[in-house]
Amino acid sequence: MNLPDAEKLFEVLLESLRAHVTPDTGIVGIVTGGAWLAERLHRALGVQTPLGVLDPSFYRDDFSKSGLRHQVKPSQIPFDVQERSVLLVDDVLFTGRTVRGAMNELFDYGRPARIDLAVLVDRGGRELPVAAQYVGANIEIPPGKVLVLDRGPAGGLSLTLSDQRRRRLDIEGESEGKK
């Protein structure tokens, strides 16, 4: 399956946001891919509000089933969320569960005036009533496949498709290897 160039999708996303983002908008990226995109959008759009980062691991609905999936990064919202227009940024929109967790976490910092969602790729397969207002591209991805955004050493973005489940904690991987 041919995947589009992530850099081109980023340009599409950036252009669609230009008319709507103001210097006061609070941009918040979801780790890790969403945070990379948010960082670039924040710079390109000349937003004054400091950049925010969310890791919604502590808000996931599958915690009691799977535990903490990966190395959790500290969330940082270095601005007042109260009554602010917030742009949430993620790389791939799939079931909508991550976005639900991120919105719940955001509300624990205050009551935003509104939240919009920008994603590089909407791959369909929603399990919750979540929609993105700004989308780089809609790509049909078969269920069971994982679409991941990667960042190269020079900062270039690219998309890859794999069969594997997302990498579990390093500790578990190691102990499994020892057995």
Partner 1 sequence: MSRNPQLNEKGALQHLLTIEGLPREILIHILDTAASFINVAERDVKKVPLMRGKSVFNLFFEPSTRTRTTFEIAAKRLSADVINLNIATSSQTKGETLLDTIDNLSAMHADMFVVRHASSGAPYLIAQHVGSHAHVVNAGDGRHAHPTQGLLDSYTIRHYKRDFTRLAVAIVGDVLHSRVARSLIHALTTLGAPDVRVVGPKTLLPAGVEQLGVRVFHNMDAGIRDCDVIAMLRVQNERMRGALLPSEQEFFKSFGLTPERLALARPDAIVMHPGPINRGVEIDSAVADGSQAVILSQVTFGIAVRMAVLSILAGK
Chain contacts with partner 1 (rule: CB under 8 A): 55, 57-59, 63-64, 66-68, 71-77, 81, 104-105, 107-110, 169-172, 174-176, 178
Looking at the Cβ atoms of 71 and 158, the one nearer to partner 1 is 71
Smallest distance from partner 1 to CB 36, Å: 19
Looking at the Cβ atoms of 18 and 65, the one nearer to partner 1 is 65
Best CA proximity match to 54, nearest among 38, 37, 33, 77:
77
Plot region of 67 (φ>0 → left; ψ -120 to 50 → alpha; else → beta): left
Looking at the Cβ atoms of 101 and 136, the one nearer to partner 1 is 101
**Packing angle, helices 33-44 and 6-18, rounded to 10:** 50
Q: Could you identify the residue written with the tokens 């690219």?
A: 158
Smallest distance from partner 1 to CB 85, Å: 18
Residues 6+ apart with CB under 8 A from 100: 59, 61, 128, 130
Smallest distance from partner 1 to CB 145, Å: 26
Looking at the Cβ atoms of 26 and 136, the one nearer to partner 1 is 26
Smallest distance from partner 1 to CB 58, Å: 4
- CA–CA separation, 109 and 86 (whole Å): 12
Smallest distance from partner 1 to CB 42, Å: 20
One DSSP character per residue, 66-87 reads H---S-PPPPB--S--TT-EEE
Looking at the Cβ atoms of 7 and 170, the one nearer to partner 1 is 170
Residues 6+ apart with CB under 8 A from 130: 93, 96, 99, 100, 117
